[in-house]
Protein backbone atom coordinates (compact mmCIF):
# COMPACT_ATOMS: atom_id res chain seq x y z
CA UNK A 1 0.00 0.00 0.00
CA UNK A 2 1.38 3.46 -0.89
CA UNK A 3 2.28 5.63 2.07
CA UNK A 4 2.27 9.41 2.45
CA UNK A 5 5.19 10.69 4.48
CA UNK A 6 4.74 12.49 7.79
CA UNK A 7 6.45 15.49 6.18
CA UNK A 8 3.79 15.61 3.47
CA UNK A 9 0.90 15.23 5.92
CA UNK A 10 2.23 17.98 8.18
CA UNK A 11 3.05 20.33 5.32
CA UNK A 12 -0.13 20.14 3.24
CA UNK A 13 -3.17 22.37 3.89
CA UNK A 14 -6.67 20.94 4.37
CA UNK A 15 -9.01 23.48 2.81
CA UNK A 16 -11.98 21.24 1.99
CA UNK A 17 -13.32 17.94 3.34
CA UNK A 18 -14.05 16.52 -0.15
CA UNK A 19 -11.20 15.99 -2.63
CA UNK A 20 -8.78 18.35 -0.91
CA UNK A 21 -5.97 18.76 -3.45
CA UNK A 22 -2.22 19.06 -2.85
CA UNK A 23 -0.29 19.53 -6.10
CA UNK A 24 3.32 19.65 -7.30
CA UNK A 25 4.12 20.62 -10.90
CA UNK A 26 7.28 19.86 -12.86
CA UNK A 27 8.27 20.02 -16.54
CA UNK A 28 6.64 16.84 -17.86
CA UNK A 29 4.23 15.91 -15.09
CA UNK A 30 2.16 17.07 -12.16
CA UNK A 31 1.46 15.08 -9.01
CA UNK A 32 -1.85 15.60 -7.19
CA UNK A 33 -2.83 14.00 -3.89
CA UNK A 34 -6.58 14.06 -3.21
CA UNK A 35 -8.01 13.52 0.28
CA UNK A 36 -11.69 13.14 1.22
CA UNK A 37 -12.67 13.21 4.90
CA UNK A 38 -16.43 12.76 4.68
CA UNK A 39 -18.90 10.69 2.66
CA UNK A 40 -19.80 12.21 -0.69
CA UNK A 41 -21.44 11.27 -3.99
CA UNK A 42 -21.17 12.28 -7.63
CA UNK A 43 -17.97 14.31 -7.27
CA UNK A 44 -16.68 15.27 -10.73
CA UNK A 45 -13.00 15.38 -11.63
CA UNK A 46 -11.15 15.91 -14.91
CA UNK A 47 -7.55 16.46 -16.06
CA UNK A 48 -6.23 18.20 -19.17
CA UNK A 49 -3.44 15.58 -19.56
CA UNK A 50 -3.41 11.76 -19.48
CA UNK A 51 -3.39 10.66 -15.85
CA UNK A 52 -2.45 7.64 -13.78
CA UNK A 53 -4.69 7.50 -10.71
CA UNK A 54 -3.54 5.22 -7.87
CA UNK A 55 -5.47 4.53 -4.69
CA UNK A 56 -3.57 5.09 -1.42
CA UNK A 57 -6.22 4.60 1.28
CA UNK A 58 -9.96 3.98 1.52
CA UNK A 59 -12.44 3.19 -1.21
CA UNK A 60 -13.93 5.03 -4.17
CA UNK A 61 -16.72 3.96 -6.49
CA UNK A 62 -15.82 5.08 -10.01
CA UNK A 63 -18.36 5.94 -12.71
CA UNK A 64 -16.74 6.41 -16.12
CA UNK A 65 -18.35 7.11 -19.46
CA UNK A 66 -19.39 3.90 -21.27
CA UNK A 67 -18.25 1.66 -18.38
CA UNK A 68 -20.00 -0.08 -15.53
CA UNK A 69 -19.29 1.33 -12.05
CA UNK A 70 -16.54 -0.38 -10.07
CA UNK A 71 -14.81 -0.19 -6.68
CA UNK A 72 -11.39 1.47 -6.68
CA UNK A 73 -9.22 0.14 -3.83
CA UNK A 74 -5.67 0.56 -2.43
CA UNK A 75 -3.05 -1.17 -4.55
CA UNK A 76 -4.96 -0.48 -7.79
CA UNK A 77 -4.34 2.04 -10.56
CA UNK A 78 -6.38 3.47 -13.41
CA UNK A 79 -5.10 5.09 -16.62
CA UNK A 80 -7.33 7.86 -17.97
CA UNK A 81 -7.11 9.98 -21.13
CA UNK A 82 -7.00 13.76 -21.12
CA UNK A 83 -10.37 15.48 -20.57
CA UNK A 84 -12.08 12.30 -19.28
CA UNK A 85 -14.72 13.21 -16.69
CA UNK A 86 -14.80 10.97 -13.64
CA UNK A 87 -17.85 10.77 -11.38
CA UNK A 88 -16.79 9.49 -7.95
CA UNK A 89 -18.59 8.30 -4.82
CA UNK A 90 -16.90 8.11 -1.40
CA UNK A 91 -19.09 5.70 0.60
CA UNK A 92 -16.71 5.13 3.53
CA UNK A 93 -14.72 8.37 3.91
CA UNK A 94 -14.49 9.75 7.46
CA UNK A 95 -12.31 12.31 9.24
CA UNK A 96 -10.34 9.53 10.96
CA UNK A 97 -10.46 7.23 7.94
CA UNK A 98 -10.02 9.46 4.87
CA UNK A 99 -9.94 8.32 1.27
CA UNK A 100 -6.65 9.26 -0.39
CA UNK A 101 -5.67 8.95 -4.04
CA UNK A 102 -2.58 9.85 -6.06
CA UNK A 103 -3.10 11.30 -9.55
CA UNK A 104 -0.05 11.57 -11.80
CA UNK A 105 -0.75 13.77 -14.85
CA UNK A 106 1.85 13.12 -17.57
CA UNK A 107 2.38 15.23 -20.69
CA UNK A 108 1.43 13.61 -23.99
CA UNK A 109 4.80 14.69 -25.39
CA UNK A 110 6.58 12.68 -22.69
CA UNK A 111 4.47 9.60 -23.45
CA UNK A 112 5.23 9.91 -27.18
CA UNK A 113 8.96 10.24 -26.48
CA UNK A 114 8.91 7.08 -24.38
CA UNK A 115 6.99 5.25 -27.12
CA UNK A 116 9.66 6.27 -29.62
CA UNK A 117 12.37 5.01 -27.26
CA UNK A 118 10.54 1.69 -26.78
CA UNK A 119 10.10 1.15 -30.52
CA UNK A 120 13.81 1.78 -31.03
CA UNK A 121 15.03 -0.29 -28.07
CA UNK A 122 12.43 -2.84 -26.83
CA UNK A 123 11.10 -5.52 -29.16
CA UNK A 124 7.56 -6.79 -28.53
CA UNK A 125 6.88 -10.53 -28.55
CA UNK A 126 4.66 -10.13 -31.63
CA UNK A 127 7.30 -7.86 -33.26
CA UNK A 128 4.71 -5.11 -33.78
CA UNK A 129 5.29 -1.48 -32.77
CA UNK A 130 4.43 -0.22 -29.32
CA UNK A 131 1.43 2.07 -29.35
CA UNK A 132 -0.52 4.22 -26.91
CA UNK A 133 -2.01 2.36 -23.95
CA UNK A 134 -5.68 1.54 -23.62
CA UNK A 135 -7.15 4.33 -21.58
CA UNK A 136 -9.55 3.53 -18.72
CA UNK A 137 -7.13 0.66 -18.04
CA UNK A 138 -7.69 -0.57 -14.46
CA UNK A 139 -5.08 -2.87 -12.94
CA UNK A 140 -3.46 -4.10 -9.73
CA UNK A 141 0.00 -2.57 -9.22
CA UNK A 142 2.87 -5.00 -9.50
CA UNK A 143 5.92 -4.53 -7.19
CA UNK A 144 7.81 -2.55 -9.84
CA UNK A 145 5.03 -0.01 -10.38
CA UNK A 146 4.43 0.22 -6.61
CA UNK A 147 8.09 1.10 -5.95
CA UNK A 148 8.11 3.77 -8.67
CA UNK A 149 4.95 5.42 -7.35
CA UNK A 150 6.33 5.42 -3.80
CA UNK A 151 9.56 6.99 -5.08
CA UNK A 152 7.65 9.64 -7.07
CA UNK A 153 5.68 10.58 -3.95
CA UNK A 154 9.01 11.35 -2.32
CA UNK A 155 10.65 13.07 -5.29
CA UNK A 156 7.82 15.47 -6.08
CA UNK A 157 7.64 16.71 -2.48
CA UNK A 158 11.43 16.85 -2.03
CA UNK A 159 13.21 20.20 -2.22
CA UNK A 160 16.10 19.16 -4.46
CA UNK A 161 17.62 21.21 -7.33
CA UNK A 162 17.78 18.14 -9.62
CA UNK A 163 14.36 16.70 -8.91
CA UNK A 164 13.09 17.49 -12.44
CA UNK A 165 15.82 15.20 -13.79
CA UNK A 166 15.13 12.48 -11.20
CA UNK A 167 11.37 12.55 -11.86
CA UNK A 168 11.86 12.48 -15.63
CA UNK A 169 13.84 9.23 -15.40
CA UNK A 170 11.27 7.66 -13.08
CA UNK A 171 8.44 8.69 -15.41
CA UNK A 172 10.07 6.90 -18.33
CA UNK A 173 10.29 3.66 -16.36
CA UNK A 174 6.71 4.11 -15.11
CA UNK A 175 5.33 4.58 -18.64
CA UNK A 176 7.28 1.55 -19.94
CA UNK A 177 5.99 -0.67 -17.14
CA UNK A 178 2.39 0.50 -17.61
CA UNK A 179 2.55 -0.11 -21.36
CA UNK A 180 3.95 -3.59 -20.74
CA UNK A 181 1.25 -4.28 -18.14
CA UNK A 182 -1.39 -2.99 -20.54
CA UNK A 183 -0.04 -5.36 -23.17
CA UNK A 184 -0.83 -8.29 -20.86
CA UNK A 185 -4.51 -7.27 -20.89
CA UNK A 186 -5.33 -7.65 -17.17
CA UNK A 187 -8.76 -5.98 -17.31
CA UNK A 188 -11.63 -5.55 -14.88
CA UNK A 189 -15.02 -6.98 -15.84
CA UNK A 190 -16.10 -3.67 -17.36
CA UNK A 191 -13.10 -3.71 -19.70
CA UNK A 192 -12.85 -7.41 -20.50
CA UNK A 193 -12.57 -7.90 -24.22
CA UNK A 194 -12.48 -11.60 -25.10
CA UNK A 195 -11.73 -12.40 -28.72
CA UNK A 196 -12.69 -16.08 -28.75
CA UNK A 197 -16.32 -16.63 -27.73
CA UNK A 198 -18.68 -16.21 -24.80
CA UNK A 199 -17.47 -19.38 -23.08
CA UNK A 200 -14.39 -17.66 -21.66
CA UNK A 201 -16.39 -14.60 -20.63
CA UNK A 202 -18.78 -16.90 -18.77
CA UNK A 203 -15.88 -18.56 -16.91
CA UNK A 204 -14.46 -15.17 -15.86
CA UNK A 205 -17.84 -14.10 -14.47
CA UNK A 206 -18.12 -17.46 -12.72
CA UNK A 207 -14.71 -16.99 -11.08
CA UNK A 208 -15.62 -13.54 -9.78
CA UNK A 209 -18.92 -14.78 -8.39
CA UNK A 210 -17.43 -17.89 -6.68
CA UNK A 211 -14.14 -16.67 -5.21
CA UNK A 212 -15.01 -18.25 -1.84
CA UNK A 213 -15.24 -21.71 -3.40
CA UNK A 214 -12.51 -24.11 -4.63
CA UNK A 215 -11.51 -23.18 -8.19
CA UNK A 216 -9.22 -25.21 -10.42
CA UNK A 217 -8.35 -25.45 -14.10
CA UNK A 218 -10.00 -28.84 -14.62
CA UNK A 219 -13.43 -27.72 -13.32
CA UNK A 220 -13.25 -24.33 -15.09
CA UNK A 221 -12.29 -25.97 -18.39
CA UNK A 222 -15.46 -28.11 -18.19
CA UNK A 223 -17.55 -24.94 -17.84
CA UNK A 224 -15.86 -23.60 -20.98
CA UNK A 225 -16.41 -26.92 -22.80
CA UNK A 226 -12.66 -27.22 -23.47
CA UNK A 227 -9.97 -29.69 -22.49
CA UNK A 228 -7.84 -28.46 -19.53
CA UNK A 229 -4.77 -27.91 -21.72
CA UNK A 230 -6.71 -26.04 -24.42
CA UNK A 231 -8.53 -23.93 -21.80
CA UNK A 232 -5.22 -23.01 -20.15
CA UNK A 233 -3.70 -21.94 -23.49
CA UNK A 234 -6.76 -19.90 -24.56
CA UNK A 235 -7.07 -18.23 -21.15
CA UNK A 236 -3.39 -17.26 -20.99
CA UNK A 237 -3.37 -16.08 -24.60
CA UNK A 238 -6.40 -13.81 -24.04
CA UNK A 239 -5.50 -12.41 -20.61
CA UNK A 240 -1.72 -12.72 -20.53
CA UNK A 241 -1.76 -14.62 -17.21
CA UNK A 242 -2.65 -18.15 -16.16
CA UNK A 243 -6.09 -19.02 -14.71
CA UNK A 244 -4.57 -19.48 -11.24
CA UNK A 245 -2.80 -16.10 -11.39
CA UNK A 246 -6.08 -14.47 -12.43
CA UNK A 247 -7.97 -16.19 -9.59
CA UNK A 248 -5.36 -15.07 -7.05
CA UNK A 249 -5.44 -11.49 -8.38
CA UNK A 250 -9.22 -11.38 -7.94
CA UNK A 251 -9.03 -12.92 -4.47
CA UNK A 252 -6.42 -10.41 -3.31
CA UNK A 253 -8.52 -7.51 -4.61
CA UNK A 254 -11.43 -8.85 -2.56
CA UNK A 255 -9.21 -9.40 0.50
CA UNK A 256 -7.85 -5.84 0.32
CA UNK A 257 -11.36 -4.48 0.76
CA UNK A 258 -12.32 -6.97 3.49
CA UNK A 259 -9.18 -6.19 5.53
CA UNK A 260 -10.50 -2.67 6.02
CA UNK A 261 -13.40 -4.08 8.06
CA UNK A 262 -12.18 -4.22 11.71
CA UNK A 263 -14.89 -6.74 12.63
CA UNK A 264 -13.41 -9.44 10.38
CA UNK A 265 -10.54 -11.67 11.47
CA UNK A 266 -7.83 -12.67 9.02
CA UNK A 267 -9.17 -16.24 9.15
CA UNK A 268 -12.66 -14.97 8.18
CA UNK A 269 -11.13 -13.06 5.31
CA UNK A 270 -8.95 -15.74 3.77
CA UNK A 271 -11.81 -18.23 3.96
CA UNK A 272 -14.22 -15.76 2.31
CA UNK A 273 -11.64 -15.28 -0.44
CA UNK A 274 -11.25 -19.00 -1.06
CA UNK A 275 -7.71 -19.54 0.25
CA UNK A 276 -7.23 -22.95 1.79
CA UNK A 277 -4.57 -21.90 4.32
CA UNK A 278 -3.36 -18.76 6.00
CA UNK A 279 0.24 -19.39 4.96
CA UNK A 280 -0.67 -19.46 1.26
CA UNK A 281 -2.91 -16.38 1.70
CA UNK A 282 -0.04 -14.55 3.44
CA UNK A 283 2.41 -15.43 0.67
CA UNK A 284 0.14 -14.38 -2.22
CA UNK A 285 -1.03 -11.20 -0.47
CA UNK A 286 2.48 -10.04 0.43
CA UNK A 287 3.74 -10.73 -3.08
CA UNK A 288 1.12 -8.35 -4.48
CA UNK A 289 0.77 -5.74 -1.73
CA UNK A 290 4.30 -5.68 -0.20
CA UNK A 291 2.70 -6.15 3.26
CA UNK A 292 1.39 -9.23 5.02
CA UNK A 293 -2.40 -9.29 5.65
CA UNK A 294 -1.76 -8.67 9.36
CA UNK A 295 0.51 -5.70 8.63
CA UNK A 296 -2.01 -4.29 6.16
CA UNK A 297 -4.88 -4.66 8.66
CA UNK A 298 -2.81 -3.05 11.45
CA UNK A 299 -1.90 -0.15 9.16
CA UNK A 300 -5.53 0.46 8.26
CA UNK A 301 -6.47 0.36 11.97
CA UNK A 302 -3.68 2.83 12.86
CA UNK A 303 -4.79 5.26 10.17
CA UNK A 304 -8.46 4.93 11.15
CA UNK A 305 -7.89 5.73 14.82
CA UNK A 306 -5.01 8.17 14.54
Domains of the chain: 6-183 (2.60.120.280), 198-305 (1.10.10.60)
The CA distance from 76 to 60, in Å, is 11
Question: What's the burial of 65, exposed, middle or buried (CB within 10 Å: 0-12/13-18/19+)?
Answer: exposed
The CA distance from 48 to 50, in Å, is 7
Q: Quick one: average pLDDT of 193-204?
A: 64
pLDDT digits (tens, 9 = 90+) for 105-138: 999 999 999 999 999 888 766 667 888 776 778 8
* Alpha carbon 258 to its chain's center: 16
Q: Quick one: average pLDDT of 253-265?
A: 86
Q: What is the mean pLDDT of the chain?
A: 86
Which pLDDT score is estimated for 193? Answer: 45
Whole-prediction pTM: 0.62
Question: Does residue 90 have a pLDDT over 70?
Answer: yes
Radius of gyration over every alpha carbon of the chain, rounded to an integer in angstroms:
20
pLDDT-derived band at 270, boundaries 50, 70, 90: very high
Which 8-state DSSP code applies to residue 97? B
Which pLDDT score is estimated for 302? Answer: 65
Amino acid sequence: MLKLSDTFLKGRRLETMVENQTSYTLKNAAMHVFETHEQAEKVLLEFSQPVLASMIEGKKIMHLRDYESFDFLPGESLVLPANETMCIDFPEAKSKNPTRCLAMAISEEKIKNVLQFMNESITKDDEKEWSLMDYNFHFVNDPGIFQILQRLLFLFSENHPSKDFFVDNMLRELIIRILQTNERKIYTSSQMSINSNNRLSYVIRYIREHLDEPLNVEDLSKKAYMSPSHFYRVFKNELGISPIEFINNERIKLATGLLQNPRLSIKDIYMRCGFESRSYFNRVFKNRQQLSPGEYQAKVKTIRYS
